[in-house]
Amino acid sequence: GQNIDQPTEMTATEGAIVQINCTYQTSGFNGLFWYQQHAGEAPTFLSYNVLDGLEEKGRFSSFLSRSKGYSYLLLKELQMKDSASYLCAGDYGGATNKLIFGTGTLLAVQP
Amino acid sequence: DAGVTQSPTHLIKTRGQQVTLRCSPKSGHDTVSWYQQALGQGPQFIFQYYEEEERQRGNFPDRFSGHQFPNYSSELNVNALLLGDSALYLCASSLARGLSTNEKLFFGSGTQLSVL
């Protein structure tokens, strides 16, 4: 299988930093997506990592280690609006864009 | 530039009925994927359509079928509805993958289906 594992829930404080981890099966793996999903809304794209290393994009950064089957999403300077579900998804599609999603990590940002 | 649009936004059906959900991809996109998202879960891949044909399919029964039209829009049909089919159905569009393309999937807001 292509199990994508991530924590179910996390809580953090406004202004702080939080790291959401994700592990995945490496067989057939092409790349790793992170999406943000607010309740009742569509998932919105945050990042896509193909190569090892850290990619920074404003307050959000994403890291990938292909050999370890590990990724994390780092959120800095947390804001209340960052309260959402964060979905880790592995790209196993080969010639297609078939994504295998984890269950999502529900992040609650507290004042 | 309109994003991915889905209709209807909400739908209530009873067991055994059939339902059709519709999706218009983002302008310029030619590939449509459908996902099922149960409450508290991540989206599960149902199938993908490209050039009016099903290109890849996830682990869903034949009750789930689809279609893609020449204008790239797509329909998802579910027959003989079960209570367990209650979920948010998401449509995602993209460009057909090239040799070195990391195309982002753009998701619609989804259709919330409730089966009673």
For residue range A61-94, what is the model confidence (pLDDT) as tens digits?
A: 999 999 999 999 999 999 999 999 999 999 887 6
In angstroms and rounded to an integer, the radius of gyration of the C-alpha atoms of chain A is 13
- Looking at per-residue confidence, does A75 or B1 come out higher? A75
Which pLDDT score, from 0 to 100, does residue B99 have?
36
pLDDT at B55: 87
Residue B97 has pLDDT above 80, yes or no: no
**Candidate from A13-17, A50-54, A95-99, A103-107 with smallest mean pLDDT:** A95-99
At B90 the pLDDT is 96
Instruction: Determine the average pLDDT of the residues in A28-33.
Output: 89
Query: Does position B14 have pLDDT exceeding 70, yes or no?
Result: yes
User: Which stretches of chain B are assigned E, i.e. beta strand?
Assistant: 5-7, 10-13, 19-24, 31-37, 44-50, 53-57, 64-68, 74-78, 87-94, 106-107, 111-115
- What is the least distance, in Å, from the CA of A95 to any CA of chain B? 6
Q: Which two tokens stand for residue B67?
A: 């279609």
> Cβ of B48 and A95 within 8 Å?
no
Averaged pLDDT for residues B1-27: 93
pLDDT value for A98: 79
The answer to whether A103 contacts B42, with C-beta atoms less than 8 Å apart, is yes
